């Protein structure tokens, strides 16, 4: 099957709006690069399904003059491509993310997470994922994440964060609006024997009401995180742990402010390059 590469550019002032739209239309992810004039270039791939034409048309409708281009390419073997450069990565002095073909080569003093590299987001190599794993490890060291607790991994992608929580003795559910991501996550859950993790296609609104959750992790984008602040906070148990990532440094204040308005105190911040994770509880600094 062929792939369609879709590219367009917008000024920095439109970046949040573009990210909010793409998070719904292209939940498996996209690439952003910044030009010397401050323009942001967006690139993503879709399969040959006719839906790509609708997405391209919607982009041109929302942002006339964005230079939207569509190019057909032959699909590559993602797993074979990843084998060329996927190397184990340590996160938070607790976890080590490895591909299945290196399963026996991990460090004995770290908890292994096996991830089959595919098109779903979340291999630990992106700073937003690594920051989440570091936050989870820190909260666990502080005794705030404990065996027996229940978690929600929102925007689960490859399932990596939920799998990490399962390896610490928790159980819960991973949600993603992209069926392809959930299919990838199922493979990784099986690879890691993470029997405590359930998976479903859906958003936060699709989650049935029940007892408040002890731990919520969401590695998505600042726009959706702001929009879900009140509902996310309402789902969190008193004193529970919340980790939000996928946030650029200049967006962190707005995201934290939205959760403060929803009733949470100030967050701890972890950062790597231009990326930030917000962590609650902040006491003791995650």
What's residue 105's pLDDT? 80
* CATH number for 254: 3.40.50.150
| pLDDT value for 285 | 42
Please check whether residue 143 lies inside any domain of the structure: yes
| CA 244/CA 18 separation, integer angstroms | 20
Provide the β-strand partners of residue 96: 90, 112
Domain that holds residue 155: 136-280
Single pTM value for the model = 0.74
Cα gap 109→137, rounded to integer Å = 14
Q: Look at residue 53 and tell me if it is in a domain.
A: yes
Q: Is residue 11 part of a domain?
A: yes
The CA angle 39-122-33, to the nearest 5 degrees, is 10
Averaged pLDDT in 10-residue chunks for the chain of 286 residues: 84 87 72 86 78 87 93 65 65 88 83 76 75 96 96 93 97 91 91 95 87 94 91 95 93 96 95 91 62
Same domain for 258 and 142: yes
Distance between first and last Cα of the chain: 45
> Which residues have CB under 8 Å from 263's CB, separation 6+?
233
Number of structural domains (the chain) is 2
What is the distance of C-alpha 108 from the center of its chain?
A: 27
CA distances (Å), origin 31, targets 28, 44, 79:
11, 6, 19
Domain end position, chosen among 75, 98, 119: 75
Of the residues 29, 57, 75, the one at which a domain ends: 75
Question: Same domain, yes or no, for 18 and 150?
Answer: no
Cα-Cα-Cα-Cα torsion 266, 271, 274, 275, nearest 10 degrees, comes to -70
Please name the residue that has the structure tokens 């990326």. Answer: 275
pLDDT in the model for residue 2? 67
pLDDT at site 286 = 42
User: What is the model's pLDDT at position 77?
Assistant: 59
Q: For residue 104, is it within any domain? A: no
Tokens at 161, concatenated: 């964060």
Q: For residue 96, is it within any domain?
A: no
């Amino acid at each position: 099957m062929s792939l369609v590469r879709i590219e367009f550019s917008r000024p920095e002032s439109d970046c949040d709006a573009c990210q909010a739209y793409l998070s719904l239309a292209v939940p498996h992810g996209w690439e952003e690069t910044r030009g010397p004039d401050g323009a942001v270039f967006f690139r993503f791939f879709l399969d040959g399904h006719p839906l790509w034409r609708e997405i391209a048309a919607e982009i041109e409708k929302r942002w006339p003059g964005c230079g939207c281009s569509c190019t057909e390419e032959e699909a590559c073997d993602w797993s074979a491509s990843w084998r060329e450069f996927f190397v184990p990565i340590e996160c938070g002095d607790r976890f080590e993310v490895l591909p299945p073909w290196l399963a026996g080569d991990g460090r004995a003093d770290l908890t292994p997470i096996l991830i089959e590299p595919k098109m779903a987001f979340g291999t630990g190599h992106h700073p937003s994922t690594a920051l989440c794993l570091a936050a989870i490890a820190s909260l666990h060291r502080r005794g705030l994440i404990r065996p027996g607790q229940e978690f929600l991994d929102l925007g689960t992608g490859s399932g990596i964060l939920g799998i990490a929580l399962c390896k610490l003795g928790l159980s819960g559910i991973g949600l993603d609006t992209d069926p392809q991501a959930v299919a990838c996550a199922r493979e990784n859950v099986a690879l890691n024997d993470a029997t405590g993790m359930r998976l479903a296609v859906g958003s936060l609104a699709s989650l049935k009401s029940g007892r408040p959750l002890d731990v919520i992790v969401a590695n998505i984008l600042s726009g959706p995180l702001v929009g879900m602040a009140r509902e996310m906070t309402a789902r969190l148990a008193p004193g529970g742990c919340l980790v939000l990532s996928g946030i650029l440094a200049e967006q962190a204040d707005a995201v934290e402010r939205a959760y403060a308005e929803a009733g949470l105190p100030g967050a701890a911040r972890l950062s790597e390059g231009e990326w930030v994770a917000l962590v609650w509880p902040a006491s003791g600094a995650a």
